[in-house]
A and B are shown apart, each in its own frame.
Chain A
């Protein structure tokens, strides 16, 4: 649950595929967290050690070595067992973790980390700069099948200065560099010189984090116990048990029967099934925006979408508030740019295309689309305005949103077809081959604002992410400047400008950011929602002695 710099741009559906469907996973959350406290004010209790939290997960973890994992279910576990040099605090600012502090050189090319002394691996060995060196080396090793090499390949030189000091040197200033050291550190004394893909640590992790691994029953449960020598102090909750329940309806029944303490609700469960007083007495619901957004992307090589005016008209014709209300039952927010509306990077002053079908018709007419043969569908050069939205199977939110869009566009004279395709075939035969007109998908929103991979003109290769072929030299330059600038205020200027251009160009119709809807048993105290979500202070959560439910020997 601890936020690592992981999900950066990994398309949501990749996670969906592995975990069944991620839209209901607990995302690391954000502000303003809206806490639905039970009506009766909680009594004041003293924090106490003990008890167990049982969390529901729809997917099993795949591998518990963070360098190899790419699914959210695995990170949910490894986030508790491992730690990085730095981490994001509750206000999404970098703070020291295994590094006590760091120095950044004047020219922004060198970062020197001073490691915390006295930190012990869960098997008792001391944590030193050797571990950092090993982690760096294994990630950049071409033989390691990892998804996290890119940031670390930018390192020109890695130096171990002494047991507790390391120095990394970059070719040119790279703003996301510091955050990239939130990467989980691996124990070199257990891995050095061995094939990391065959290490027993894949199923039995040993880290420096607040919880240590106990047991993993495939497809059933994963058990973690508190690590008493954790450098920030022993966590209050003695045991964290993650139960794998692939079906959300079943999971909800288990929750109601009191056999689960935490899960992520669906919008339907949140609005219709959890409003009773008895439910509110036993559980506390939370609601905050997730770090992900959904969009309708247009293939800009398709002649119909080449004209910016047409794309603006399409956005104007789509009732995005209607989608949030209809598909998310109001539990989300319309977005106009690829950033999260409640973070500092979001530019609220971009050009907006509010829902207005009449205006959309007019804009389309200006772009040359007119219903010349009177069949209700617009034509240009004798060709009707008809296109297909493709989306992936297994995500009903997307399918439903596409249906609403279909209906909205029909009203302005555009015929839309919808095709839902199994994920692997969807990528291979449609997205990678540019064999689509429009697609409804989602992106995870990284904590770092750099979005070069999605918007850069050159990132249009077969498996690259700019699959809509958006090409704007000004955007390329702004993103490059943003990535090489350390000062947040200065950085924001570049990204603000970038968002203005994107909003004007409308290569995507940005749809919505949905809410994360975790629900937690009310016996857990100390949960303080913050811009980053609720998981950041997990070690401070506790169950007061009189309310403890399970007796777990520490």
Chain B
């Protein structure tokens, strides 16, 4: 097991380097650079100044030199300094945004799982029933409704008309004056709408996936056997069928690990939440290379780790699968 883990971890290194090379090249192929965004159409800039600023950022060197320099810093876990006019360390910019993004994604993932799994199971057990059809319509409605539109409607209802919930942001202006419990309540109130809206759109995928897994499992012989033994339906479904149907969900969860730190631009813009989605979008628009690369590397690393984690969990959860030594 330990050897397997080591092998997998070592194999990740070339993959990761490959990913960074591709990311770096694609990023460089895009027209424009951080300097021209500041200097072009700016009457106060002359050739001299532009050259100076390009040199300041190291953009006057060939692309491969820029890449190697970046890689060298990266190996020492130095993400570099942002090219945006704040010139802050990339790692600071990322770290200050990760907690809120992570929190929302975890909550919304939890909500999706706790609603989609029962819906999927029930739809499969009562295939083609009214419940099945009704939930299908419901989850696809969630899938189809544009996030920004639903968000605005809910904001108008709960924020303006009923005045029950805050409209945007993730904490109140007087947050720092609140007690500990008050703070938790404050954040919770702010997160109700964002978490609901982001989960609503994700219900369809997970519940349909669960439904088809379950359908496949209950058609199998051992379920027929279990029923033939005279076990009651509850035990058959929840004890014997569900466990097997849940296995593929592990893969899905493994794949969603990088998604936990990725945010959605539209969603964060609507709710005025300073998360990762906005940071990445702004960095791309400003050609802030170090920040873009920083986020991509973290995303790539998490994807690889998520895959590894899923594989390992598989062997734990399913006795039929063994990691080959």
**A contact set with B: CB distance below 8 Å:** 8-11, 13-14, 17-18, 54, 60, 62-63, 68-71, 74, 142-143, 145, 147-151, 197-198, 202-203, 217-221, 241, 243-247, 249-250, 253-254, 256-257, 259, 422-425, 427-429, 431-432, 453-454, 461, 463, 465
Within 8 A of A (CB), among B166-202: 166-170, 173
Q: Which residue of the partner chain B has the closest CB to A151?
A: B44
Using known A-B contacts A70-B85, A463-B45, determine if residue A246 contacts B30 with beta carbons closer than 8 Å: no
B43 in contact with A453 (CB, 8 Å): yes
Using known A-B contacts A218-B96, A219-B97, determine if residue A244 contacts B274 with beta carbons closer than 8 Å: yes
Q: Which of A202, A221, A254 has the most CB of B within 10 A?
A: A254
Our pick among B167, B168, B285 for the contact of A423 (Cβ within 8 Å) is: B285
Residues of chain B within 8 A (CB-CB) of A241 are: 173
A424 in contact with B42 (CB, 8 Å): no
Using known A-B contacts A198-B87, A253-B156, determine if residue A454 contacts B43 with beta carbons closer than 8 Å: yes
Residues of chain A within 8 A (CB-CB) of B44 are: 8, 147-151
Using known A-B contacts A18-B286, A423-B37, determine if residue A253 contacts B155 with beta carbons closer than 8 Å: yes
Q: Which of B36, B39, B41, B86 has the most CB of A within 10 A?
A: B41
A14 in contact with B42 (CB, 8 Å): yes
A63 in contact with B86 (CB, 8 Å): yes
25 cross-chain CB contacts under 8 A = A10-B42, A62-B86, A70-B38, A142-B48, A142-B49, A147-B39, A149-B44, A202-B86, A217-B274, A220-B170, A243-B169, A244-B272, A247-B148, A250-B270, A250-B272, A253-B167, A253-B168, A259-B166, A424-B36, A424-B285, A425-B30, A425-B32, A428-B40, A431-B40, A463-B39
Please tell me which stretch of B50-58, B67-75, B125-133, B315-323 contacts chain A, meaning at least 4 of its Cβ atoms lie within 8 angstroms of it.
Answer: B50-58
Extra contacts, 8 of them, besides A253-B168, A428-B32, A428-B40 (Cβ < 8 A), are A10-B42, A60-B274, A70-B85, A151-B44, A245-B168, A250-B167, A422-B285, A424-B37
Give Cα A198–Cα B169 distance, bound, in whole angstroms: 30
Using known A-B contacts A63-B87, A246-B272, A429-B31, determine if residue A257 contacts B163 with beta carbons closer than 8 Å: yes
A257 in contact with B286 (CB, 8 Å): no
Residues of chain A within 8 A (CB-CB) of B39 are: 147, 463
Our pick among B40, B84, B268, B269 for the contact of A62 (Cβ within 8 Å) is: B84
A8 in contact with B31 (CB, 8 Å): no
Minimal beta-carbon separation of B61 from chain A (angstroms): 18
Give Cα A445–Cα B227 distance, bound, in whole angstroms: 81
Residues of chain A within 8 A (CB-CB) of B170 are: 220
A218 in contact with B37 (CB, 8 Å): no
Residues of chain A within 8 A (CB-CB) of B156 are: 253
B31 in contact with A246 (CB, 8 Å): no
Minimal beta-carbon separation of A373 from chain B (angstroms): 38
Q: Which residue of the partner chain A has the closest CB to B163?
A: A257
Residues of chain A within 8 A (CB-CB) of B148 are: 247
B43 in contact with A257 (CB, 8 Å): no
B43 in contact with A425 (CB, 8 Å): no
Minimal beta-carbon separation of A465 from chain B (angstroms): 6
A463 in contact with B50 (CB, 8 Å): yes
Q: Which residue of the partner chain A has the closest CB to B47?
A: A461
Using known A-B contacts A219-B278, A250-B155, determine if residue A14 contacts B41 with beta carbons closer than 8 Å: yes
Give Cα A424–Cα B284 distance, bound, in whole angstroms: 10
Q: Which residue of the partner chain A has the closest CB to B92?
A: A218
B159 at the interface (CB under 8 A from A): yes
Minimal beta-carbon separation of B76 from chain A (angstroms): 20
Give Cα A453–Cα B170 distance, bound, in whole angstroms: 45
Give Cα A241–Cα B46 distance, bound, in whole angstroms: 37
Top 3 A-B pairs ranked by shortest CB distance? A219-B274, A424-B32, A453-B43
**B contact set with A: CB distance below 8 Å:** 30-33, 36-50, 52-53, 56, 84-88, 93, 96-97, 148, 152, 155-156, 159-160, 163, 166-170, 173, 268-272, 274, 278, 285-287
Residues of chain A within 8 A (CB-CB) of B30 are: 424-425
A250 in contact with B31 (CB, 8 Å): no
Our pick among B88, B167, B286 for the contact of A17 (Cβ within 8 Å) is: B286
Residues of chain B within 8 A (CB-CB) of A219 are: 97, 274, 278
Using known A-B contacts A219-B278, A249-B152, determine if residue A9 contacts B43 with beta carbons closer than 8 Å: yes
Minimal beta-carbon separation of B291 from chain A (angstroms): 13
B274 in contact with A220 (CB, 8 Å): yes
Residues of chain B within 8 A (CB-CB) of A17 are: 37, 285-286
Our pick among A11, A198, A202 for the contact of B41 (Cβ within 8 Å) is: A11
Residues of chain B within 8 A (CB-CB) of A9 are: 42-43
Minimal beta-carbon separation of A442 from chain B (angstroms): 11
Give Cα A432–Cα B33 distance, bound, in whole angstroms: 13
Give Cα A62–Cα B287 distance, bound, in whole angstroms: 15
Using known A-B contacts A14-B37, A150-B44, A250-B167, determine if residue A54 contacts B173 with beta carbons closer than 8 Å: yes
B269 in contact with A424 (CB, 8 Å): no
A149 in contact with B86 (CB, 8 Å): no
B32 in contact with A220 (CB, 8 Å): no
Give Cα A18–Cα B44 distance, bound, in whole angstroms: 18
B274 in contact with A218 (CB, 8 Å): yes
Minimal beta-carbon separation of B158 from chain A (angstroms): 10
Give Cα A461–Cα B302 distance, bound, in whole angstroms: 46
Minimal beta-carbon separation of B270 from chain A (angstroms): 5
Minimal beta-carbon separation of B285 from chain A (angstroms): 6
Give Cα A256–Cα B48 distance, bound, in whole angstroms: 49
Give Cα A206–Cα B223 distance, bound, in whole angstroms: 73
Residues of chain B within 8 A (CB-CB) of A243 are: 169, 173, 272
Q: Which residue of the partner chain B has the closest CB to A8?
A: B43
Give Cα A463–Cα B49 distance, bound, in whole angstroms: 12
Residues of chain B within 8 A (CB-CB) of A431 are: 40-41
Q: Which of B45, B47, B48, B287 has the most CB of A within 10 A?
A: B45
Give Cα A423–Cα B173 distance, bound, in whole angstroms: 34
Give Cα A244–Cα B159 distance, bound, in whole angstroms: 18
Minimal beta-carbon separation of B36 from chain A (angstroms): 6
Using known A-B contacts A254-B168, A427-B32, A463-B39, determine if residue A145 contacts B278 with beta carbons closer than 8 Å: no
B274 in contact with A145 (CB, 8 Å): no
Residues of chain B within 8 A (CB-CB) of A257 are: 159-160, 163, 167
Give Cα A218–Cα B286 distance, bound, in whole angstroms: 17
Residues of chain A within 8 A (CB-CB) of B45 are: 147, 463
Minimal beta-carbon separation of B275 from chain A (angstroms): 8
Residues of chain A within 8 A (CB-CB) of B96 are: 218
Our pick among A8, A142, A220, A247 for the contact of B270 (Cβ within 8 Å) is: A247
Give Cα A179–Cα B155 distance, bound, in whole angstroms: 46
Minimal beta-carbon separation of A263 from chain B (angstroms): 13
Minimal beta-carbon separation of B287 from chain A (angstroms): 6
A256 in contact with B50 (CB, 8 Å): no
Give Cα A63–Cα B38 distance, bound, in whole angstroms: 14
Residues of chain A within 8 A (CB-CB) of B93 are: 218
Residues of chain B within 8 A (CB-CB) of A422 are: 285
Give Cα A148–Cα B38 distance, bound, in whole angstroms: 12
B271 in contact with A250 (CB, 8 Å): yes
Minimal beta-carbon separation of B175 from chain A (angstroms): 9
Give Cα A69–Cα B45 distance, bound, in whole angstroms: 14
Q: Which of B168, B170, B268, B286 has the most CB of A within 10 A?
A: B168
Give Cα A235–Cα B47 distance, bound, in whole angstroms: 43
Minimal beta-carbon separation of B102 from chain A (angstroms): 15
Minimal beta-carbon separation of A56 from chain B (angstroms): 9
Residues of chain A within 8 A (CB-CB) of B31 are: 424-425, 428-429
Give Cα A17–Cα B33 distance, bound, in whole angstroms: 14
Residues of chain B within 8 A (CB-CB) of A150 are: 43-44, 46
Residues of chain B within 8 A (CB-CB) of A70 are: 38, 42, 85
B274 in contact with A253 (CB, 8 Å): no
Q: Which residue of the partner chain B has the closest CB to A71?
A: B85
Give Cα A142–Cα B152 distance, bound, in whole angstroms: 48
Minimal beta-carbon separation of B43 from chain A (angstroms): 4
Q: Which of B42, B49, B163 has the most CB of A within 10 A?
A: B42
Minimal beta-carbon separation of A1 from chain B (angstroms): 20
B272 in contact with A245 (CB, 8 Å): yes
Q: Which of B40, B152, B287 has the most CB of A within 10 A?
A: B40
